[in-house]
Each structure stands twice: as structure tokens, then as C-alpha cells.
Amino acid sequence: MSLGSQIAWDDTILPFQLDEADVRGRVVRLDGTLDQVLEQHDYPPAIEALVAEAALLTALIGQTIKLRWKLSLQVRGDGPARLIATDYYAPANPGDPGRIRAYASFDEERLDPNGPAFEQIGQGYFALLIDQGAGTTPYSGLTPVAGQSLSDCAQTYFAQSEQLPTRFILSFQETDETWRAGGVMLQHMPKASPFAKSDGGSGEGGLLSAEDILPRESDRENWSRANILLDTVQPDEMIGPTVQPTEMLVRLFHEEKPRVFEPQPVEFGCTCSAERVVESLSIYSAKDIAHMTTEDGIVTADCQFCGAHYEFDPSVLGKDADGSV
């Protein structure tokens, strides 16, 4: 695919590789998708910022992994921002868009709505969960919340859990009630035999960092040069719309010979349904269902991701609904 190709870049993930640096990466733009994610809720600014950053990370990471179904990112903390949860659903067929959804749970009384977003999380953990669908065992990996941003947490996760030096730079803003967001992910190409220090890492709290897992000086130099070049990226280059991702890659990495691959469209999408809600309630007894039943004689459920509202006759819910004991 030519770097000069003229295509619409909103809501896309563009994979690329730096042939002269042994580095791969992704460029993401989430525009209407992020609008739809955030318009499902009336979040205060600090929570909007956390959800926007998490959605960008999820798009970049989800498209990097060869998924057959779903990647989930979860950040849990003891601060007022209790939970940030996102899902990326891989395309069902070639050419189909990937789908993203996200939501947050927070303590409104303790939250500083306009304060530093990352500080609202407190102590906790950053987790990635990979579900490849029926017949497979889900994978989960987690690291402590560390650094100054969710991007720092994601970088620590890849260094610690995957032993892959990884870097994220993200930008997002709301203008005239419309969100524009974008970012770049760099990742050193995986080696056949990853190397890491056995006596702990040089990162925060003894966690591994890129320097700990790149044994060869040439790898360290390539990685350092790619990161120095990435540091020159401007926010308007990442979020567009006037600068194309291909133009940005040429400006940043022309000496590293960037090579791009087929872009992946992405959109907001939720998998909730009445059938899934009934299935999730099938673990409860008739007594439990009775406690959930309203004065009007119905059981209600709301999707935390998209806000869909469901109402059920309690007689069709629970593990006793079919008459079994």
C-alpha cells in the first residue's frame, strides 16, 4: 500500500513497521467512535479523559494481537475512579470493522471532576484479558497501576508481562461537543528468546523497563532512536484531520523506512442483548430473583456500556425458571 494513498482516516487503525529499526507500530484515530462511547454517559471531565485514554489504548492493543473475539482492558483502583473498563471485539470477517465499547464506575462524592485524571485512580491494577471465544481458555495478565498515565501502565504491562518494549503517545480533545482522538504505538519486534534481568527491573517498584529486556546494544540504539523521533510528534498530527497518518509516519520515521499495511476500520459496538441478560441471571435462585423484582412485578437491567434498558417477567429468569430444583 502506498504511503501517499488518499483514504478516509477517521475511526481507523493503521498498522506499520519500521524496517530499519526492527520496530512495529499502530496509528489510531477515534472520532465518531469516541463520541459514541462517551455520549452513552454524562461523565465529568476527569472520567471522560480516563475513558478516552483507555479506549485509544484498547484500539491499539486489540488490533496488535491476533484476536478471534475479544480483548478487555480493566483498571481498578482505590481512588474515586474505581473502574475503567473497555472491550475491543475483533472483526468477524475480513474488511469488517472492529468494535469498541467502554464505561467507568466512580465515586462522585470523592471525585475531583476537573482534577488530574490519573490521580483519581489511586492504588490498584491494570489488567488485560483476552477471550478467543468458545472452546478456549481466557488469558489474563495484570500489573500494578504505575507511572503518570494509563499509557505508562500499558507500557509497564508489556515490559513486565510480555517482555516487549512498548511506547504509547496519545492525544484527545473535545471541540464544539465533538471528540477527536488519536495516538501512536511503537513496539520492538518480539525475539525468539526474550531476555530480562533476573534480579528485578529498573522501572518503578522494580518493574521491568525497555532497557532491561533489550540485550543487544544495536536493539537499544534502534529503540532509543525511534522513541526520540516519536517525541517530536505534535497533537494535531495524531488527531487530524488535516494531517494523514501516512504523512505523519513519513515525517517522523522516513530514515527508518516506514512500511504500512491495510488499515482496520473501527466503530462503537455493544454486544448486550435480552438473551445475554437472561443467561447472566440464570445463576440466581427464585428467591434471589424475587429480591430483584420491582413493585411493578418486573425485573429490570441496564447495560453499563450502552445504556440499553431491559425488562423481564421474573418467571422466565433464574435457575428455577424451567421448573428444575
**Cα 82–Cα 84–Cα 85 angle in degrees, nearest 5:** 130
Is residue 318 scored above 80 in pLDDT? no
One domain, residues 200 and 287: no
pLDDT, position 5:
40
State whether 204 and 303 are in the same domain: no
- pLDDT of 4 strictly over 80: no
CA angle 214, 220, 225 (to 5 degrees): 145
Q: What is the pTM of this model?
A: 0.85
Tell me, yes or no, whether 212 and 297 share the same domain: no
Kindly tell me if the per-residue pLDDT of 2 is higher than 60: no
Nearest one of 239, 240, 246, 243 to 5, comparing CA atoms: 246
Instruction: Please compute the mean of the pLDDT values over residues 42-64 and round it to a whole number.
Output: 95
Q: Which residue's C-alpha cell is 500489573?
A: 143
Query: Could you report the per-residue pLDDT of 117-127, keeping only the tens digit for each?
Result: 999 999 999 99
Same structural domain for residues 154 and 288? no
Q: What is the CATH number of the domain that holds 63?
A: 3.55.30.10
- The 3-class secondary structure across 44-89, one letter per residue, is CHHHHHHHHHHHHHHHHHHHHCCCCCEEEEEEEECCCEEEEEEEEE
Q: Which helix (H) or strand (E) holds 227?
A: helix 217-230
> Same domain for 45 and 121?
yes
Shared domain check, 204 and 89: yes
Domain count, the chain: 2
What digits encode the pLDDT tens for the residues 77-112? 999 999 999 999 999 888 899 999 999 999 999 999
- Three cell numbers, residue 178: 465533538
The whole domain housing 298 covers 274-316
End-to-end CA distance of the chain: 61
Q: Minimum mean pLDDT among 16-20, 151-155, 307-311: which range?
A: 307-311
What's the confidence (pLDDT) of residue 226?
95
In a shared domain, residues 255 and 291: no
Exposed, middle or buried: residue 321 (CB in 10 Å: 0-12, 13-18, 19+)? Answer: middle
Residue 4 falls within a domain, yes or no? Answer: no
Rounded-to-integer distance, Cα 243 and Cα 241, Å:
6
